[in-house]
Structure 1
Amino acid sequence: MTNPLFYAKILLFGEYGIIEDSQGLTLPYSFYKGALKFSSLDSEFEKKSNTHLTKYADYLLDLELPKGFELDVQKFQYEISEGLFFDSNIPQGYGVGSSGALVAAIFERYSITKYNPENISKDQLKNLKKVFGLMESYFHGRSSGIDPLICYMNLPILIENKESVDKVAIPESEEGKGAIFLIDSGMTGETGPMVQIFFEKMKTEGFRKTLKEEFIRYNNACIEAFLKKDMNPFFRNLKKLSNWAYEHFRPMIPESIFNVWKKGLDSNAYYLKLCGSGGGGYILGFTKDYEKAEKMLDGFHKEVIYRF
């Protein structure tokens, strides 16, 4: 059996906003990956994974998927009984798509109609996103389908709005002083409770208004400037976005990160934003001078994902 690898993903922009029709920009992240494999299930990890797959197969058995996107669940169940497990180093609860990679791997192996990610049309992308949303809802209660889509396509994806997504080219990473990096908050976050907090906030008119008029405007402007590699407007809007999140997404910012988030805003040395739903896991950092930011963030585990 060949084991296609499915990489983690990073949502650079669009967290929560994409629920309300903002744009989003996501990248595959090859540092973390997962693949379906067979074993005699000797280790605790393999046993646990196999048990999870058994429960997930029961869910998929009752799931009605659109025509052309059906899964051979019987084959999946048979292979689970033969020792199938998901071998992954993608951390769970870190906002980098652990369930997305699993869903992508299962679809790739068990979809009755086979697709080639390189030749997928925009319409098929839209349908795949829906299918992946249904498949991933098992893990989060509600899913846009974006995470598995990025893991499956293994390409940067521009989320144009709720309905429409497209493949996109991002500027080449180069060895400059600037960087986009991940900071480990040291704790895991759960998507469900964080999304619940967001929907509670959406019940107040003031929050809805500022989300639409400010957050979405800054978010979309960041994406536009980043894709053009126009770094001055990029950092200008990024500061506004980071400041907005500091004020309005406070419950989603892990306690360990709270003070350094403010320190970045006050010093302009770096700006932080949520990576996924927040509550824990990774936080995204952006800086024009990584050496300086690294010193200021001493004590935190960091990983550079893009240089400019």
Structure 2
Amino acid sequence: MTNPLFYAKILLFGEYGIIEDSQGLTLPYSFYKGTLKFSDLKSDFDKESNDSLLKYSDYLKDLELPEVFQLNISKFKKDIKKGLFFDSNIPQGYGVGSSGALVAAIFEKYSIKSYQPEQVSKDQLMNLRTIFGQMESYFHGKSSGIDPLICYMNLPILIESKESVDKVAIPASHEGKGAIFLIDSGMTGETGPMVQIFFEKMKTEGFRKTMKEEFIRYNNACIDAFLKKEMTPLFRNLKSLSVWAYEHFKPMIPESIYNAWKKGLDTNAYYLKLCGSGGGGYILGFTKDYKKAEKMLEGFHKEVIYRF
């Protein structure tokens, strides 16, 4: 496999919840992708990427990984000297897995043992997730390892709990009136500070209670309904999830999106939710009538990712 492409990912459900053991559902998004390449480093982009890889290689050198997941760091460092860089159009700070794709690409190229994603067992998936979490922590302070796992496997993954992940088949996308879409908030978000806000909120008993009793219930019900293609319970729980986020995740909702978020709830024309940690980047939208939602969200850049 020469220069394999690693796609972005979209966490449809489970943002913040997976930290607290809710379910999550995440899928590859091939509109954005990245691959490791060599260059003469004459462009600023290539040079910056090469410099970042050098710093990252020092971090990886000090990681104590189990023998079966060892990386060939000396080869990685030699390639960096030869002009290795990560050629990617995945926007950073948009919640679509820019660092996840990089981690997956490095693991694929430099892992001493090679794996065939389609043959990876459920146990191996969990082990890979742990390794990827350690590798990606360099970028976010703490990583669940899910983003690089999706990028590496290039398959939809159901996060069943902290201890269990599995490959999953999602209903095929087909041309209907309904859609799941991305809205560009027009600003980037940083994962670290947003996660910090979440942990601060978790210190209060009231927030912990509503997170467990409401957010996780709505979130898991959305995943169940989506996988079963049951649109009525999906949209009922989506509305509850969107209302909950509007009340409890205010700091994570980009200001440019506040009014549009509320308008969706007031009209029931569409519902919005965070895509990743929030603070900027993309927001996810769900609607039964995309034409209507599109008109109401005029002025925002939108991308449809799934039709039904």
TM-score range, shorter chain: over 0.9
How far apart in 2 are the matches of 1:21 and 1:13? Answer: 12
Please list, as runs of the form range in 1=range in 2, the aligned pairs for 1:99-178 lying within 5 A after superposition.
99-178=99-178
How far apart in 2 are the matches of 1:225 and 1:70? Answer: 39
- Does residue 50 (structure 1) correspond to residue 50 (structure 2)? The answer is yes
Runs of 4+ in structure 1 off by over 4 angstroms are none
Deviations for 1:25-73, whole angstroms, at most 9, x for unmatched residues? 0000000000000011110000000000000000000001122001000
Unaligned runs of 5+ in 2: none
Return the letter of the residue paired with 1:215: F
How far apart in 1 are the matches of 2:167 and 2:65? Answer: 24
Deviations for 1:141-180, whole angstroms, at most 9, x for unmatched residues? 0000000000000000000001110000000000000000
Return the letter of the residue paired with 1:108: E
Alignment partner, residue 20 of structure 1: 20
Alignment partner, residue 197 of structure 2: 197
CA RMSD of aligned residues (A): 0.5
Unaligned runs of 5+ in 1: none
Alignment partner, residue 302 of structure 1: 302
- Does residue 239 (structure 1) correspond to residue 239 (structure 2)? The answer is yes
Return the letter of the residue paired with 2:34: G
Alignment partner, residue 69 of structure 1: 69
Return the letter of the residue paired with 2:189: G
Percent identity at matched positions? 84
Deviations for 1:96-150, whole angstroms, at most 9, x for unmatched residues? 0000000000000000010000100000000000000000000000000000000
SS of alignment partner, residue 7 of structure 1 = strand
How far apart in 1 are the matches of 2:87 and 2:162? Answer: 32
How far apart in 1 are the matches of 2:2 and 2:86? Answer: 14
Alignment partner, residue 187 of structure 2: 187
Deviations for 1:287-306, whole angstroms, at most 9, x for unmatched residues? 00000000000000000000
Alignment partner, residue 4 of structure 1: 4
Alignment partner, residue 91 of structure 1: 91
Return the letter of the residue paired with 1:151: C
Q: Which moved more, 1:65-74 or 1:144-153?
A: 65-74
Alignment partner, residue 258 of structure 1: 258
Please list, as runs of the form range in 1=range in 2, the aligned pairs for 1:213-252 lying within 5 A after superposition.
213-252=213-252
> Number of aligned pairs?
308
Return the letter of the residue paired with 1:198: F
